[in-house]
């Protein structure tokens, strides 16, 4: 099954830990793609307290950060954790969600 996870929480918010628990639950059993949008893009930035948790997810997941949200928050592509890709705009995100996933979870 192909699972999509949408992260809108910063690493400091309580919902971030719930996201990590669900992401780890699906690791190894399903194909997982993670989209960081809104304040969730702060999770893509190098140097935050939970960077290791995101880096561990990269071993078995594809992770995208929304480029518009990165720009709005002053985060440059060179500031991203290695392995995280940017995705242009919400249109591409919606197309991916509608066409590629069996299940979507949002945090």
pLDDT of residue 89: 82
Q: Model-level pTM?
A: 0.91
Reading the block at residue 56, the tokens are 């561990």
Average pLDDT of the residues in 18-37: 90
- What are 50-74's pLDDT values in tens digits? 899 999 999 899 999 999 999 999 9
Give the pLDDT band (50/70/90) at residue 14: confident
Domain architecture of the chain: domains with CATH: 2-106 (3.40.1260.10)
**Is the pLDDT reported for residue 43 higher than 80?**
yes
Strand intervals (E) in the chain? 2-7, 31-36, 61-66, 85-87, 103-106
pLDDT of residue 24: 92
Reading the block at residue 91, the tokens are 């249109």
**3-class SS of residue 82:** coil
**Is the pLDDT reported for residue 35 higher than 90?**
yes
**3-class SS of residue 64:** strand
Non-local CB neighbours of 41 within 8 Å, separated by 6+ positions: 65, 66, 69, 70, 73, 75
């Amino acid at each position: 099954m192909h699972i999509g996870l949408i992260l809108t929480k910063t690493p400091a918010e309580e919902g971030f830990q719930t996201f990590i628990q669900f992401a780890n639950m699906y690791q190894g059993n399903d194909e997982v793609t993670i989209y960081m949008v809104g304040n969730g893009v702060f999770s893509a930035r190098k140097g935050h307290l939970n960077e290791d948790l995101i880096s561990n997810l990269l071993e078995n997941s594809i992770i995208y950060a929304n480029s518009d949200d990165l720009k709005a928050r002053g985060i440059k592509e060179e500031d991203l954790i290695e392995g995280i890709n940017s995705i242009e705009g919400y249109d591409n995100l919606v197309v991916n969600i509608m066409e590629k996933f069996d299940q979507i979870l949002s945090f």
